[in-house]
Structure 1
Amino acid sequence: MASKPPSVEIEVDNRVVRISNPDRVYFPESGATKLDLVEYYLAVGPGIVNALRERPCMLHRFPKGLADKKVHQKRLPAGAPDWVETVQLYFPRWGRTADELCVTELGSVVWAVQMSTVEFHPWNSRRDDTEQPDEWRIDLDPGDECDYATVQRVAHVVHEVLDELGAVGFPKTSGGKGLHVYVRIHPDHGFKDVRRGALAFAREIERRTHDDVTTTWWRKDRDPRKLFVDYNQNARDHTIAAAYSVRGVPDARVSTPIAWDEVDDADPRDFTMFTVPARFAELGDLHEAIDEHAFDIRPLLEWAERDKAEGQETPEEPD
């Protein structure tokens, strides 16, 4: 009789999660295993739960590790314990619904990793009203020929404009080549308004840093030496990696919160699943206070009206 695959049981608060194939290599470059990934998420537990709490969450799963294909999964994987919570979403372009993971505790994160999840991609709205975003996301996305020094310069301008608006931004590395800045907002506008406001903000950044920034809609028309302020990340059902999410890249890079005064020195390559736990133990969650700083986006919508009066249209939302 064939033996069962090895497993370990992980205690998370008052939950027990069985991790099958704990020694399966997920990151061939370093040899990091599924159990290593679990231990990483346990080490940053309060941070990842804060980033995901009550939000619909799409999962990027690697059933056989990075050496095999990635699965983008909206629906909760089958076999979830009854304590793993979900939220039902309607997807108009499919004409059907899906129950997505809705993290309320660290056990749900560990269970998702057991189900081969590496990356967590939450919505910018919460379960109470999924159609009213409470998070404005500023995505500084460098073109193929845009260096990281440009990202850093533009980040300072973003900080300057946010200060002028009276908004508090919480930056993090993207886990790739860019930076994200999150702003908590009052959940009293729909996705279209939040995206319009995000575009107006992006255009203001473009005005101030024209040599570095583009808001050009089509990728093929963008100057690859410039940084795209991707306002589309505020469209409905568009998600980006959460704070403290490991990315599915060979060096196991992490999308990591940083302080504004770290922007000039922080190298995204330094933040990995091997280094971030010690940083978290020392600094805690740098996004912990984000809920205390909700911003009213009406000034952004006034900028959007100004842009419209000047003949600048809002491109249709992407599929």
Structure 2
Amino acid sequence: MPLTLHSFLIMFIRKEGDEEDWDTVMLQRPRTHRTPFPLSFCIVEDWEPFTNHYSDRPLLKGMAYTGPFRDVEVVIKVAYAPVPGALRRLKHQANAYDKVASLHGFFVPECLGLFTSASTSSEQYAIGAALPTVYYGNTLMCEVETGARPADECWQDMDASTSTRRIIKSASALHRRGLRLGDIGPECIVLDDRLDGSDTDAFIIGLADAAPHKCRQTCTLVHGGLAPQRREFGCDELYYLCVSLQMWLPKYILCFAEVFETKLVYPFPWLLAAHAPSDAPRADAIKDALAAIIDYAERYTDDEGDELKGVLAEKRGQIIADFVAGKVPHGEEPYYGGIRSPLHPAPASSEHIVQH
């Protein structure tokens, strides 16, 4: 019978309120190419990052001093041996991390794998298994609870040019590796700013509800475009994630206490103003339309929206004067310096501008 080599995880757990009293726990797992180190040594203590969310408890947090996570902060999710189902749930998460091993350090934290105890102790807090991962920071929900992030910038109102698209990119990467997340929200997203300030990575942590998945997404993800039909998109989980993060322009735009199809009027304020009530002054109609278009650009677009807002701000006076006079965009700079629709290539019809 071949000899099985093991890697060991030794945790020195600092007891709360006592700097001199420590618990020592040794766990093991069969040594593989991903865990070639014979020994990982960590000093950790109890960690409760959530006040209202308990899905990731119990957790330990501290520093690793040997092994692959040398001199880095780690989070260790543990399963207490006497708790029914705890080991099974932790094994489920470990299997999910194994399934996306090629994404470790990119879209999910590096994970050392599941370590288990040979002990059969029935003590209440006897640790039966542990799953160590690299710590990249607090989740979005934790940042809100600690005051590090405003509550109104926690999810759908985040900076579209970085955070929103990177969360969707991370979720899409896991889907391509055959894993659906089951439940994704601010309590399982960590945004890690790169040291050179060039970018922001979105890490998905936990994977408690992950399940095998064959993703059938067919639509290209274009930020600031019109939302595709759900059935055409091909993947419900990614579709609803994009909707919740305001990835796309809504189908309708609100103005004059009515709704209008976005694809017919955006981003041309004069087309929207043409639908104002017949008794509304033309100057008021175009000003309200400008405000509605700019609000849409701020909410649902990033780079293209900044460009659009710049043009509308620069040409605001001319746009208002032309609409009041019943004129169409004209001159050497058609559409006031290059306003173009991301939704349809055809230029706006002059008929829409004079109808009012």
TM superposition score normalised by structure 2: 0.23
Which structure would you say has the larger Rg?
2
The alignment's TM-score, normalised by the length of structure 1, stands at 0.25
